[in-house]
Every structure is written in C-alpha cells, then in structure tokens.
C-alpha cells in the first residue's frame, strides 16, 4: 500500500516538474500582447502577424500544450478528436463568438494538432475545420 502511494507521489512530482519547466516559444516579431487580448480574432490584431506566423509555423512542431498556452494564451477552441489527438484553435479572422456583425462563415485560423502525449504534430493556417 505504501509502495503504491510513493509511486503516485513520485509520478505527481514528475508531472508537476515537467509542467513548471515549460517555457514560452520563440515567436519572432509576433506581438503577443496584441495576440492575447484579441480573443477569437474579434479585433483583427492577430492578422497583423500572419506573415510571421507563416514563416515560423514549422518551428512550433514538437512543442507541448503548456508551451503553447504560455506563449499564445488559452486557445479560442479546443477540439478533442479522439483519445490520441486534439486541436488547439486560435482565430485570426473574427469568429462567430465575436457577435452578430461578423460575416465570415469560415474564418482564418491557426490550428495546432496535438498527439497523444500533447506534442504539436501539425500546424496549419487555414479556413477549413479539422
């Protein structure tokens, strides 16, 4: 019983150490203050960094979910496809969550596909849904 408890405690310490050690990603000239305040792309501030995102998108491969959150803030949407993958979605164009005056049916979005161990396996800038 004590052995099982010690294993659980050790696992918790390992996970918390891993999460605490996550740092922000290198994002070049992207204005992260504008990015984080432009939830759902409602103000169009994220579109200003589109060229830099396209240039850097492959550098985000193998980043973990905590690094994404520390860098870009909470995702606008999270889709759980199955137990082995999920998507973090950040809207670049105004999404339907911005209000009634938004006319974009398929807004441009930055999508991070995360694998079963919460590592980025694919980065897309697209209007398509996963």
Whole-angstrom Cα distance, residue 21 to residue 35? 23
Q: Which CATH number fits domain 25-126: 3.40.50, 3.30.1450, 1.10.3470, 3.50.50?
A: 3.30.1450
CA distances from 17 to 8, 12, 20 (A): 14, 8, 5
| The pLDDT of residue 2 | 56
| The pLDDT of residue 75 | 97
| The pLDDT of residue 1 | 61
pLDDT tens across 100-130, in order? 666 657 899 999 999 999 999 999 999 998 8
Closest CA to 57 of 82, 24, 28: 28
| pLDDT lower than 50: segments of the chain | 13, 17, 19
Whole-angstrom Cα distance, residue 47 to residue 45? 5
* pTM > 0.85: no
């Amino acid at each position: 019983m004590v052995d099982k408890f010690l294993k659980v405690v050790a696992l918790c310490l390992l996970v918390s150490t891993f999460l605490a050690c996550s740092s922000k990603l290198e994002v070049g000239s992207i204005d992260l203050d504008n990015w984080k305040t432009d939830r759902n792309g409602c103000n169009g501030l994220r579109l200003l960094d589109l060229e830099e995102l396209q240039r850097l998108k492959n550098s985000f491969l193998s980043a973990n979910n905590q690094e994404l959150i520390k860098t870009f803030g909470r995702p606008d949407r999270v889709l759980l496809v199955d137990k082995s993958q999920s998507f973090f979605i950040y809207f670049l164009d105004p999404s339907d969550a911005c209000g009634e005056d938004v006319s974009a049916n398929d807004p441009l979005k930055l999508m991070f596909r995360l694998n079963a161990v919460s590592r980025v396996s694919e980065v897309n800038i697209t209007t398509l849904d996963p």
